[in-house]
Chains A and B, each alone.
Chain A
Amino acid sequence: MEGPLAAAFSAAMPAGRPVNVSRRGMFAAAGAGLFLGLAIPGRAPRAQGAPPGAALRHAGKVTAYLRIAPDGKIHLQNPFVEGGQGIDSAVAQIVAEELDAPPADFIVTCAPPGEDFRVMQGGNARFTGGSFSVRSSFAHFRTLGAAARAMLIEAAAERLALPAASLSTEPGRVIHTESGRAIPYGELAMAAAALTPPDNPPLRDPTTYRFIGRPLPRFDVRAKSTGKITYAIDVKVDGMLLAAVVHAPRAGAQPAAVTNEAALRAMPGVHSVHRLPGAVAVVADTWWRAKTAVAQAQIAWQALQGPVMDADFTAETMLGRLKAAAGTHGNTAEEAGDAAVALTTAARVIEAEYDAPYLAHAQMEPPSATARFNADGTLDVWVPNQAPDFFQASAARAAGIEAAKIRIHSPPLGGFFGRHFAYGAANAHPQAILLAKATSRPVKVIWSREEEFARDAYRPLSYATFRAGLDASGDIVAFQAAGYGEGPITRHFGAARLGNPPIDGSIMEGLTGKPYRFATKRVEFIPVPHPPGVNLGFWRSVGHSMNDFFFESFLDEVAAATGRDPYEMRLALVAHSERHKALLNAVAGLSGGWRRGPYDAPDGTRRARGVAMASPFGSEVATIAEVSVSDGEVMVHDLWVAIDPGRVVNPRTIEEQVQSAAAIGLSSALFEEIGFERGEVTTRNFDTYRVLRRDRMPRVRVAIIESGAPMGGVGEPGTPGVPPAVANAVFALTGQRLRSMPFGRTRLSGA
């Protein structure tokens, strides 16, 4: 399952090119003597055990990834960006298994841009997203670790004048069992440097794994508990100035003039005032002084070029446009049999429409970017990002220099959830580059929280329509669904990349790819553009974040209309799939056995449960929610989530990711929506853009099922089942059907 996201990114990867400064920057600084060796370019060893079709183009490039220092510390360059999902630890865990080294000896940093680190899509793509990191690099990192181990054994064999076959390893050293001699890896690394990585290093028998599949701790927990992580916003560069920006109230307007520029320049610490595309910046000696000054800027905003947000634009405007397209013939995304004909003969037809709002990522770290031009014509950029190659390309455009002269530094992310892709005006690094150029000083731009909420790339406001034709016995004989709008794939990769017929997977996934079997089915995509001034982004679980709510709620409507139990109905609809039946059984078991309710809980509240399924990012998930209603609002007491990611690298991380994904799913279900008035964003901080806090966090219990299916993702799949499970529970309790998120807008009747 590669998915529309991976396909779009892969097709759009910046051209591979010789890189002068960025590749192996960390290693060069550390001294060549410590290398395992020079990278072996251009070879494509095919490892045994690699999944069919997965070309491991870069698994032989041991030295691009690994450096073993004399002290035994293993420095690993990770193609993926750490942002709380535990990918630094997971990648080390995989390499440690095959290298035969203690996972705790690893020091992991994010790799620079460059061909060597494109481990996805057959060695041609790199980004951190789509819940793709571990599953796309598992074979790569196993092979890489095994190749490094073989090289270390070979180096030891030469040193001891013994046949390599007589040597083995134990964590961190090569051993000769017969004589009891042992050489730590740190002493062999330099000699191993001269060797050629083997094409087909032997891989460890999975039944003997010691690290893969174990709940090992993440590396960075102590540093994160003591404030010692340097996020992008914390980066300090000698001689840097700080910049604060205000963007145009309505996107698209340009600053024609700052009428009080002289007064701003006279404020404490202020260095200079700048007009930027769509924004004004004040540069000062500290960010607080820059922000204080820019807040007082008197700016004449004009439509100097391009469209400006309509002065009457609201979220309701956009929903109206989507609804107006209902009934239009769309592009076929999935089809089985002739649903249109089957509908005409159906005994009964059930219809419904659903919608979901614009969402902000609301990651806790506000965006920032630091840019420094160097005397040798190179440029350093520190920026939170999920795709260094794309940011290198976009920095090159902003700076007007070739990409090869740009180093992209990718610090750990203070949350991301899809926020940090190359989103044009939603990125701060072009501003930092322009300001560094203008001031001839290194500049760090920080966006205030208010600027961030106003210029995020939002999860698109979305709309879907459904129609189910039932026969006389209540079975579904025709199923029609349509998704409307424009997704981040269309917006950022272009309609030309949507395939034929054009389907925007970031709008359609979750309406498509469901496990249920219907006699006939048609799922279609109806493109409707959002205004250019509303940036669109990938938000945790992307299309699934709204579509599984739409689909699973509608399925519940059909169950209710036919008097069927929604859990039993789902079991019947997946009767062909042992994997999905097992999943439903697992979540029911986890919750103490399926019971819909309503029933009285020991605390005196009246409660009920709802169930939902989702098939996101190669994994399968079933979710049950238990709710009550208090003061017209839904209270979620428990969530039970069963996830089948096929295969498991770290069960503890998976459970943590499901907890996290469930929390954001519930947050979106209950509270979140970006508001617009007069074309301006009105929800500019956490006081108006409400997110889940402790007071509404339910217990979350997780069951992990390792079915042995191809490895799926784990970072996002816990999200999409939560909103429909909650909505279906609310229906079971109150008879009220929630067809619009967030649910907080709807006052619920008591139960």
Chain B
Amino acid sequence: MLELNVNGTVHRVEVEPDTPLLWVLREQLGLTGTKYGCGVAQCGACTVLVDGQATRSCSFPVEAAVGQPITTIEAIETHPVGAKVVEAWVTAQAPQCGYCQSGQVMAATALLATTPKPTPEDVQAAMTNICRCGTYNAVAHAITLAGEQL
């Protein structure tokens, strides 16, 4: 039995300790806003915040998350920076198919929480998520918009 603090709530889960956090979120906790894309920390669709750090949950064993606050896309609008990111995403109309965007929003939230006025190089370093719809320019624009509100 593991105890997880997800979005401010403590959950007890019965699961193999090496199970990736992604699958505990999706299958045990029903939080399907976090997406499976590649399973090998390449694409970033599974990005969540673990103690504020953008983390690829597909390759992060759940046991390593015990004792740390986990924030997923489901709680993003209660996050002071995340709420601004979402508004900017809507204004910029960043998503197309949307599948990668949970991870993009989480990665941008982690970036802007520490670096409210990121340089293009900061964005490049933090936003390595793959978007097959090619929304990279719209996402960059949204990050700029969100930064203006911080």
Contacts and interface: CB of A to CB of B under 8 A. Distances in A.
* A and B together in one complex: yes
B90 A225 contact: yes
Interface string A210-234: 0000000110111111111111011
Nearest to A540: B132
B100 to A, nearest CB: 5
B50 interface: no
Interface stretch (A346-354, A363-371, A501-509, A725-733): A363-371
Interface stretch (A323-331, A607-615, A655-663): A655-663
Contacts of B43: 364, 686
Contacts of B111: none
Contacts of A656: 93, 96, 138
Interface stretch (A140-148, A412-420, A742-750): A412-420
Given A236-B30, A365-B35, A366-B36, A664 B132 contact: yes
A412 B99 CA distance: 10
B73 interface: yes
B35 A414 contact: yes
B145 to A, nearest CB: 12
Interface in A161-198: none
Contacts of B147: none
Nearest to A662: B134
Contact of A233 (B36, B93, B94, B131): B36
A83 interface: yes
Contact of B95 (A84, A233, A685): A84
A366 B37 contact: yes
B73 A694 contact: no
Given A292-B16, A694-B136, 10 more contacts: A221-B94, A224-B95, A225-B90, A288-B19, A362-B132, A364-B97, A685-B40, A691-B130, A694-B127, A695-B124
A197 B138 CA distance: 43
A223 B101 CA distance: 10
B17 to A, nearest CB: 12
30 contacts: A83-B97, A84-B97, A86-B96, A224-B98, A225-B101, A226-B74, A227-B74, A227-B76, A227-B101, A230-B32, A231-B35, A231-B99, A233-B36, A286-B27, A362-B132, A364-B35, A364-B130, A366-B36, A412-B97, A415-B133, A448-B39, A449-B38, A450-B39, A656-B93, A656-B96, A663-B136, A686-B38, A686-B42, A694-B136, A699-B137
A288 B38 contact: no
A416 B97 CA distance: 9
A391 interface: no
Interface in A431-478: 446, 448-450
Nearest to A234: B32
B70 interface: no
B86 to A, nearest CB: 5
B136 A228 contact: no
B94 to A, nearest CB: 7
B99 A365 contact: yes
Given A685-B38, A686-B43, A225 B95 contact: yes
Task: State the majority secondary structure of interface residues on A.
Answer: loop
B35 A287 contact: no
Contacts of A686: 38, 40, 42-43, 130
B97 A413 contact: yes
B138 A694 contact: no
B27 A663 contact: no
A590 interface: no
A226 B87 CA distance: 10
A376 interface: no
A663 B136 CA distance: 9
Nearest to A666: B134
Contacts of B77: 226
A17 interface: no
A539 to B, nearest CB: 12
A700 interface: yes
A78 interface: no
Interface in A222-273: 222-231, 233-234, 236, 242, 268
A205 interface: no
B134 A449 contact: no
B110 interface: no
B113 to A, nearest CB: 17
A692 B134 contact: yes
A227 B97 CA distance: 12
Interface string B125-150: 00111111111111110000000000
Interface of A: 83-86, 217-218, 220-231, 233-234, 236, 242, 268, 286-289, 292, 362-366, 412-417, 446, 448-450, 652, 656, 659-664, 667, 685-687, 691-695, 697, 699-700
Contacts of B27: 242, 286-288
A289 B19 CA distance: 9
Interface string B46-77: 00000000000000000000000000111011
Given A687-B42, A697-B134, A220 B16 contact: no
Contacts of A224: 95, 97-98, 101
Contacts of A222: 86, 90
Contact of B128 (A292, A659, A693): A693
Contacts of A288: 19-20, 23, 27
Contacts of A225: 86, 89-90, 94-95, 98, 101, 105
Nearest to A83: B97
B81 interface: no
B99 A700 contact: no
Contacts of A413: 97
A110 to B, nearest CB: 14
A715 to B, nearest CB: 10
A233 B90 CA distance: 24
B33 interface: yes
A363 B93 contact: no
Contacts of A446: 36
Residue among B127, B132, B139 with max Cβ neighbours from chain A (10 Å):
B132
A686 B101 CA distance: 17
A221 B134 contact: no
B97 A415 contact: yes
A233 B45 CA distance: 13
A657 to B, nearest CB: 8
B19 to A, nearest CB: 6
Contact of B135 (A86, A217, A417, A660): A660
B96 A84 contact: yes
A415 to B, nearest CB: 4
B65 to A, nearest CB: 15
Given A84-B133, A685-B38, A364 B128 contact: no
B127 A84 contact: no
Contacts of A448: 39
A428 to B, nearest CB: 14
A122 B68 CA distance: 59
Residue among A236, A268, A450, A694 with max Cβ neighbours from chain B (10 Å):
A694
Given A227-B102, A364-B43, A694-B128, A217 B93 contact: yes
Residue among B38, B74, B93, B99 with max Cβ neighbours from chain A (10 Å):
B99
A413 B133 CA distance: 12
A694 B43 CA distance: 12
Contacts of A693: 128, 130, 136
B37 to A, nearest CB: 5
B132 A226 contact: no
Contacts of B28: 286
Contacts of A268: 16
Residue among A84, A218, A222, A225 with max Cβ neighbours from chain B (10 Å):
A225
Residue among A229, A292, A364 with max Cβ neighbours from chain B (10 Å):
A364
A364 B136 contact: no
B86 A226 contact: yes
5 A-B pairs with the lowest CB-CB distances in the bound complex, closest first: A663-B134, A227-B33, A224-B98, A414-B99, A84-B97
